[in-house]
A and B are shown apart, each in its own frame.
Chain A
Amino acid sequence: MRKYLAIFRIRFANSLQYRTAALAGVATQFAWGFMEILAFLAFWRVNPRAFPMEFSQTVSYIWLQQAFLALFMMWFFEGEIFDAITRGGIAYELARPFDLYWRWFTQSAANRLAKTVLRCSPILLVAFLVPQPLKMSLPTSGLSFLLFLVSSFLSLGVVVAFSMLVYISTFYTLSPTGVRIISAVLADFLAGAIVPLPFFPEPFRTVAEALPFAAMQNMPLRIYSGNIGGVDALWGLGFQVFWLVTLIIIGRFTMGQALNKVVIQGG
């Protein structure tokens, strides 16, 4: 356990260095968040009854999504891991006494957390200060806030476990670009990163809500905003645990297969 903590620490510390990048990120997220909320506001003014979520829920969903972007975004990968596979640095990784799956898992999670820590507070601060109807609301209850926290961690786990599959595919394809782009576009869309899942038309929505992508940001953001509450929220957590475990099992199995016939690239 200590060795994985050490990896976590050094990755976390390393990512905290990039202050300017964080600042630029915050600016982008503000602009994006405002535009998205304004677009939803325009739709809502035309026909509030056609809205599948309450407007305040939608606003909270979008602000939280922007604040925690680094935690949940699916187009973000560790360049180091791709390099290790395609350029042969993995030789050193395998000559160390740790399980490669958990080592990469820890590294990805640490990087995402560090980025989020740097970025979330200014966005949340402003989101609570802007006037209605753009203002973010507080969680409906202490319990729902607690559920939100738990769900966020599970969501991070699902996101990283899914990214691991993309990394592992590189053992076979040797070029991460294709899988990376497809996964970024598809996963982000199906996770509700572009439009929240309740806005999806039926029966597409039912299908999307059963996929592993629905166990990503969809869950914590809707729990916080009160769109999913009570027993449904608990079911939601169960749903996330199910996909987390499933993805980890698939990842570990395929990684074991890949390592058996791994080729160290570049001599």
Chain B
Amino acid sequence: MIVLEGINKSFRVAKRQAGFGQAVKALVAREYQTIQALQDVSFTINDGEMVGYIGPNGAGKSTTIKIMCGVLTPDGGKCEINGRTPWRERINHVREIGVVFGQRTQLWWDVPVCDSFELIKDIYGVDDRQYARNLEELTTLLDLTEILKTPARSLSLGQRMRCELAASLLHSPKILFLDEPTIGLDAVSKIAVREFIKKLNAERGTTVILTTHDMQDIEALTERIILIGKGKILLDGSLQELKRRSSDRKTVILEYLGNTPSLRDGMYIQEQGPGRLVVHVEPGVCSVSEAIAHLSAQVEVLDISVLGISAEEMVAGLYREYKI
């Protein structure tokens, strides 16, 4: 179980205006700006949960992850993970967690991937049988057979990310932190990584905390999302709930033969082309079935589809709403 209560963290950053004169001035009197990276961050995550931690760039996502991993020490507040405070009992704490920092690599650059894995086995003191079992399972699930003997430097980004995932799971951690695990991956690799994370959560019951900018990740993986902006937790709830809360507007996309149909109250045109119409429907005023009936009475319908709000739109809406 992960409990964070009132975590604060600030950084001091040297600032100066552009230009040579300013650079000289900064030699003598340097101006610092304190940036409040986290402000009173609190949440609880239960064992086996899969949580999406989202927010715009610079919101404090990575800082929170690093505090939970014992890498950073916060200025104040309480954080307890499986009964331990990460930065006080770092070594015992990190034995039970796995981390993937999507923008960095944990693989030894010049040696084959399997050598890096062996090293990780020794670092965590994984016994031979458990290691063999984990390696086999991960190799199958992540399709690593072909690339285990390749040096990390010759792997593609997608291949490397699959290896990174495997590397952080060789010691069977109870909690897995993923900091942008799908950054820069192509569609196929993204889906492979998502499928794997899902399976891991379902079969091993691993708690997964995921930060990402890819809303499809969130939609595919997490039930619960926590929204952070400017260092503060803004929202904490299920994805469905949030979608409903932000808007229950539906979009109807219609392809038809005939004249442009007229609209009734509660329907708004968003896009119009020859034989194609995209209409927003406000369910309070006009239900989706009424809208469809209204449209099909006027024209010959070739194709019709109804969409809810996408996670992407919802999050963009939330960012606007909270001005972050």
Q: Is the CB of B104 within 8 A of A94?
A: no
Smallest Cβ distance from B130 to chain A, in angstroms?
A: 15
Is A97 a contact partner of B91 (Cβ separation < 8 A)?
yes
> Among A3, A7, A89, A262, which residue has its beta carbon within 8 angstroms of that of B125?
A3
The 8 Å CB contact of A95, one of B62, B94, B103, B119, is B94
B66 near A91: Cβ-Cβ < 8 Å: yes
Find B94's partner among A10, A14, A97 (CB 8 Å cutoff).
A97
A265 to chain B, nearest CB (A): 11
Q: Is B29 an interface residue (CB 8 A)?
A: no
CB <8 Å contact, A96 and B94: yes
**Are B108 and A94 in contact, CB atoms less than 8 angstroms apart?**
no
Complex contact B122–A3 (CB within 8 A): yes
Could you say which of B62, B73, B104 has the most chain A C-beta atoms within 10 Å of its C-beta? B104
Task: Compute how far the CA of A90 lies from the CA of B90 in the bound complex, rounded to whole angstroms.
Answer: 14
Q: State whether B91 touches A264 (Cβ < 8 A).
A: no
Assess whether B119 is in contact with A6, with CB atoms less than 8 Å apart: yes
Smallest beta-carbon distance A152→chain B, Å = 27
A2 touches B101 (CB 8 A): no
Is the Cβ of B99 less than 8 Å from the Cβ of A92? Answer: yes
For this complex, into which size category does the number of interface residues on chain A fall?
20 to 34
Which one of B11, B103, B123 lies within 8 Å of A96 (CB-CB)?
A: B123
Q: Which of A6, A14, A94, A267 contacts B62 (CB 8 A)?
A: A267
- CB-defined interface of A11-35 with B at 8 Å, one 1/0 digit per residue? 0011001000000000000000000
A147, B106: Cα distance in complex, Å = 41
Q: A10-B115, A91-B66, A97-B123 are in contact. Are A264 and B94 (CB under 8 A)?
A: no
Beta-carbon contact of B115 and A89 below 8 Å: no
Q: Does B268 contact A (CB under 8 A)?
A: no
Question: Which residues 60-102 in B have Cβ within 8 Å of A in the complex?
Answer: 62, 66, 69-73, 90-92, 94-95, 97, 99, 101
Q: Is B110 positioned at the interface, with any CB of A under 8 Å from its CB?
A: yes
Is A264 a contact of B72 with CB atoms below 8 Å?
Answer: yes
Partner of B101, one of A5, A91, A97, A259: A91
Q: Is A242 an interface residue (CB 8 A)?
A: no
- Sample of 17 more A-B contacts, CB < 8 Å, known A89-B104, A91-B66: A6-B118, A10-B108, A10-B119, A13-B111, A14-B108, A14-B111, A17-B110, A90-B71, A91-B69, A94-B94, A95-B94, A96-B94, A97-B124, A99-B91, A262-B71, A264-B71, A264-B72
Q: B interface vs A, CB < 8 Å?
A: 11, 62, 66, 69-73, 90-92, 94-95, 97, 99, 101, 103-106, 108, 110-111, 115, 118-119, 122-125
